[in-house]
Amino acid sequence: MAKFKSIDKMLEKKHPALTIAFLGDSVTQGCFEIYKTSENTFETVYDYKSAYSTRVREILNILYPSVQVNIINSGISGDNVVNGNYRLEEDVLKYNPDIVVVSFGLNDSVSGLDNLPNYKNALSSIFTRLKERGIEVIFLTQNFMNTKTAPAILFDDFFRGLAEMFANVQNSGILKAYFDQAKEVCLEHGVSVCDGYHVWETMQNAGVDTTALLANDVNHPIREYHCYIAIKLIEIILGL
């Protein structure tokens, strides 16, 4: 795997700088635990410093201490790929990034298999627009949602309802279908894939309780997983 051309361009500059933008949903944004704010609403714990985008910058600062690394975190909780395509110009392209990491699927998949064509078309549009600007792109497939209802939320009707809905999407293969579709679109557009979903499949097959690796018991991975993903993204960027 060859390293991204952005790295060579960065090192050729007298005052080297690298800008990486991250476009996605709550996982990209850095959302973790959730808590109720009223009977039927909830809020999430925002922890930007633990998000994989921040970890990418920290690693690059270690590897290239003289380089100015700019991180644009354009993750929005609850977002989907159609809206991501809509806000691409304002939230990503105006910053002239060298590299963009795109990650959608969790929220899209809740709409079921009938939504797959919309997902495919919006993702294809994002890749086309980024490639037209000469921007290097990585698509990050996401984590599992819960496969069962965690004991911590078993006795809360609202959170149990969320868990049951997400578990159905996960266990029925709908989420996997979305990421399989995404990888096909990536192949068509020559986009690199960081296949996080495959990691969760491998863990499940090895007997790991993947639901225990979710900070909110439904769809936000624990902070340690963000560190792992940051390393895998760096490996792709450096061609390791």
Q: Could you report the per-residue pLDDT of 136-145, keeping only the tens digit for each? A: 999 999 999 9
Per-residue model confidence as pLDDT tens digits over 67-122: 999 999 999 999 999 999 999 999 999 999 999 999 999 999 999 999 999 999 99
Average pLDDT over residues 205-233: 97
In this predicted model, which residue has the larger pLDDT, 150 or 226? 226
**Statement: residue 159 has pLDDT above 90:** no
pLDDT number for residue 175: 98
**Statement: residue 9 has pLDDT above 90:** yes
Please report, rounded to a whole number, the percentage of residues in the chain having pLDDT higher than 70. 100
Please, which pLDDT band fits residue 41 given cuts at 50, 70 and 90? Answer: confident
Average pLDDT over residues 232-239: 98
What does the mean pLDDT of the chain come to? 96
Among 11-20, 79-88, 141-150, 152-161, which is the least confidently predicted range? Answer: 152-161
* Measured CA distances, 173 to 70, 134, 146, 166 (Å): 37, 35, 12, 11
**Statement: residue 40 has pLDDT above 80:** no
pLDDT number for residue 52: 98
pLDDT number for residue 208: 98
